[in-house]
Chains A and B, each alone.
Chain A
Amino acid sequence: MVKVTIWGSLRSATDGVAEVEVEAANFKQVLRELERNYPGLQSQIAAGVSLAIDGKIYREAWFTPVSPDSEVVLMPFMVGG
């Protein structure tokens, strides 16, 4: 199981839990399992999110691997100027 940290304003979709566990081996599977287990996250994930995996920020990188040892943090989709 991979632990995923959820940022505060999304925790209403995870019953207030800051860190949830999902069965996943890559970026895409993390999002799929989050959507499946926490339907309240679907709209945010559809609008766009990033994942920080072991400190590195990924956008839309479906096949980036994650493991039970990975630090995985759900983040907003990063934009810039």
Chain B
Amino acid sequence: MALDTEKREFKILGTRPLRPDGVDKVTGRALYGADMSAPGMLTGKILRSPHAHARIISIDTSAAEALQGVKAVVTANDFAKASNSFMQDGLDNCMARGKVLYHGHAVAGVAAVSEAIAKQALKLIAVEYEVLPHVTEILDAIKPDAPVLHPDRNFKRLPEGTAANISHTTDFGHGDVEAGFAAADLIVERTFKTEATHQGYIEPHACLASMGPDGKADLWCCTQGHYNVRGMCADYLGMNISQLRVTASEIGGGFGGKTTVFIEPVALALSRKAGKPVKIVMTRDEVFKASGPTLSSLTDVKIGMTKDGKITAGYAMLRYQCGAFPSGTIDLGAMSAFAAYDLDAVHTEGFNVMTNRPREAAYRAPGAPTAVYPVEAVVDELCLELGLDPIDVRLLNAADEGTKASYGPTFEAIGLKATLEAAKAHPHYSAPLGPNQGRGVSAGFWFNFGGNTSVSLSLNDDGTVAVTEGNPDIGGSRASISMMAAEELGIPYENIRTIVADTNSLGFNDVTDGSRVTFAVGLATIEAARAAIKIMCTRVAKIWDIDPEAVTWEDGYAKPAGENAGKYDPMSLAEIAAIANKTGGPIAGHHEVNADGAGVSFGVHLADIEVDPETGFTKVLRYTVFQDAGKAVHPSYVEGQMQGGAVQGIGWALNEEYIYGEDGRLQNAGFLDYRIPVASDLPPIDTVILEIPNPGHPYGVRGVGETPIVPPLAAVSNGVSRAIGKRMSALPMSPPKILKVIKG
């Protein structure tokens, strides 16, 4: 769906109305996953593996089942065989089958009349394990003699000679890279390491499942995609999809980590067996041990540059650790690494390798931050060595409309150069720095996409409007959708209420991911509004006894299209809605689409960092995010996305990491030992929104949610490196690591 050809002055888009969920959230009225309850509800708990890797010899649940108050116990035997290997991996991650693959892997579930009894029952489940050698690090996992996680599956030993733990390989690029390096005046080659991080959402996974004896079930859960939950759970329980209704609760953060299932199938299986509703709420310990960390990485980057800053060639070898099950994130990393550059010669390759860690889950722009970080760090090092301005160099080499992207296609109109120019012109870039301070620059990129979307829009007889969409609101989408409906219909924002429907109330919707919702649901909302307008104009034409084409819609009113149509008093939406039952019945519009044309997104970040040379302690002094948002529907939410992504990236760069012991057990499963940035750690994050219309959306809207987490890793690393005068090449840059580099 293309950008509207008629240029319009927006009346509502670009304003900052109050968020519709604000009062509920600050007063405690909003219902999150753990807030749901049902009569006769049981408490579900999950037994988890104490081992990183072990064969399950036997599971004896008899003592637990005999405990008074226990109503059901389930193991892998209580689930159906999944429909394909990808789905089976998801199920096996929810409940171990044959082997446990990481510390915290689920082994059995219990439902009991109280949490105390459920916990007691877990202790009565006797699991006999044969402990196996484990592997948690990338280089260890590819050694020829490494423990193999899935020896029964046909993973190729690629690169040749490695253990059969590599699930996926990748290779992108074009041009003659060796000739490019030969033409360079300076080549920098360096290896970079990042650690696995968690999405860090405040709300733990929580759900309530209720299945009746007739096999009909309801599930309430916190998720980014309840249609996806429905599909996975139905598959795992051997159910017909129509018999499972899923309702998404309010969500206390997801960031990609709630795009799959963990506890939901277990709660349903327990409910089926017990004949009662079952609620499961993960503890924070479980969230860390058994829900979606991101990948860790080890990347070699080589870039050649001429004395005047022209990049002659780029190469990256990426190795992504993806936890206990196959993953293809390496593709996205290899495609993103050099996307900000217009290069004649570029080559990225790499692989995903499995280890005895929790299964990798998506995290904002999955695969991109860890690929862009090493490239942007080497570009920064080249700029320093050659005495060149880092933004000038990026402008000289920036991808633009017509550039053949490093991953193949030719870019349409993109906003990278405008974003770089905005950063260069901003007072932040020219502000003086003090001793032990450094300024880091990084560009970043994400694809964005649209996807399957359904929207329904109904007129109420008082002239207000109900919009029904099917994507959990993780970043302000209800406000944005209401605004776009109001803009199209020409009525006040306050007259519209947008809700997120359950899976039985609306057609299918893809997960809330890929920065897709404001783009795709917005697009569908505009089309639904246009469908309703068409009906309204037809009704009014009948009232006026003229042709429907002779009626036009303008600012919330049906009007004669011109003088030839006759003279009639305009009719408002409210007037038309009030008499809808007399003119043909309820008036509604709907739209269903697999939306394309989302348009890629670029951002540029500036980070001023101060490092205490005595302790290695870092302080983020100033931080500014520049991003092309297309048309910013609700600028406050766009700024919130830009700030949130920056903060999560700063945490990734400075503090956050999964730490494993020699025994393969996670050492820091809690917010005391896994430290995310808090407000007192950070300066205000400034934002500059650039509004370059997306040609693939009627209002020019572009997704904004993921790109902001891509640049911070390099922006902060480059700032630290410039502050200490030495190149940092491993994250997180905790004080001991920085001190080690300072002291050489």
Contacts and interface: CB of A to CB of B under 8 A. Distances in A.
Contacts of A71: 409-410
B408 A76 contact: no
Contacts of B448: 80
Most buried by B among A8, A18, A61: A8
A29 to B, nearest CB: 17
Given A79-B332, A79-B513, A80-B256, A56 B696 contact: yes
Interface stretch (B4-12, B167-175, B576-584): B167-175
B706 A81 contact: yes
A35 to B, nearest CB: 18
A55 B331 contact: no
Contacts of B328: 76
A57 B411 contact: no
Nearest to B350: A9
Nearest to A64: B596
A75 B408 CA distance: 8
B408 A59 contact: no
Contact of A57 (B171, B331, B447, B515): B447
A58 interface: yes
A71 B219 CA distance: 45
Interface in B335-387: 335, 349, 362-366
Nearest to B515: A80
B259 interface: yes
A47 B326 CA distance: 13
A80 B408 contact: no
Nearest to B294: A81
A56 B596 CA distance: 8
A80 B366 contact: yes
Contact of B597 (A7, A56, A73): A56
Contact of B408 (A5, A54, A78, A79): A5
Contacts of A56: 412, 596-597, 696
Interface string A38-62: 0000000001000010111111110
Contact of B170 (A8, A54, A60, A64): A8
A7 B347 CA distance: 11
Interface string B217-257: 00000000000000000000000000000000000000111
Contacts of A78: 332, 447, 449, 514
Contact of B514 (A47, A73, A75, A79): A79
A9 B332 contact: no
B172 A7 contact: yes
Main secondary structure of the interface of B (DSSP, over half): loop
Nearest to A58: B596
B513 A80 contact: yes
Contacts of B467: none
Given A9-B171, A56-B596, A59-B451, A80 B407 contact: no
A54 B411 CA distance: 8
B332 A59 contact: no
Interface in A1-58: 5, 7-9, 11, 18, 47, 52, 54-58
A78 B511 CA distance: 13
A27 to B, nearest CB: 10
A76 B446 CA distance: 14
Contacts of B58: none
A80 B362 contact: yes
A81 B363 contact: yes
B510 to A, nearest CB: 9
A55 to B, nearest CB: 4
Contact of A55 (B169, B173, B409, B515): B409
Contacts of B331: 76
Contacts of B638: none
A81 B596 contact: no
Nearest to B86: A47
A43 to B, nearest CB: 11
B633 to A, nearest CB: 19
Nearest to A71: B410
A8 B331 CA distance: 11
A5 B335 CA distance: 14
A75 B407 contact: yes
A7 B409 CA distance: 11
Nearest to B361: A81
B263 interface: no
B594 A52 contact: no
B54 interface: no
A60 B449 CA distance: 12
B598 interface: yes
B599 to A, nearest CB: 8
B172 A59 contact: no
B516 interface: yes
Contacts of B515: 80
Contacts of B199: 81
A55 B597 CA distance: 9
B365 A80 contact: yes
Most buried by A among B255, B594, B596: B596
Given A7-B407, A57-B598, A61-B596, A81 B513 contact: yes
Nearest to B402: A55
A54 to B, nearest CB: 8
Contacts of A5: 408
Interface string B514-541: 1110000000000000000000000000
Nearest to A60: B594
Contacts of B172: 7-8
Contacts of B170: 7-9
B516 A80 contact: yes
Contact of A7 (B171, B363, B412, B513): B171
A61 B450 CA distance: 11
A9 B412 CA distance: 25
Given A57-B596, A58-B596, A8 B410 contact: no
B594 A59 contact: yes
Contacts of B449: 57, 59, 78, 80
A70 to B, nearest CB: 11
Contacts of B256: 80-81
Given A57-B596, A57-B598, A81 B412 contact: no
Contacts of B598: 57
Contacts of A8: 170-173, 349
A60 B510 CA distance: 13
A68 to B, nearest CB: 16
A25 to B, nearest CB: 18
A8 B411 CA distance: 20
A55 B596 contact: no
B594 A81 contact: no
Interface of B: 86, 169-174, 199, 255-257, 259, 328, 331-332, 335, 349, 362-366, 407-412, 446-449, 451, 513-516, 594, 596-598, 696, 706
16 contacts: A55-B409, A56-B412, A57-B598, A58-B596, A59-B449, A61-B596, A76-B331, A78-B449, A79-B332, A79-B366, A80-B448, A80-B514, A81-B259, A81-B362, A81-B513, A81-B706
Given A7-B407, A8-B173, 18 more contacts: A7-B172, A8-B171, A8-B172, A8-B349, A9-B170, A11-B171, A52-B408, A54-B412, A59-B596, A71-B410, A76-B331, A78-B514, A79-B362, A80-B516, A81-B257, A81-B362, A81-B365, A81-B514
What 8 pairs across the A-B complex have the smallest Cβ distances?
A: A81-B256, A8-B171, A80-B514, A52-B409, A81-B362, A73-B408, A76-B331, A9-B171
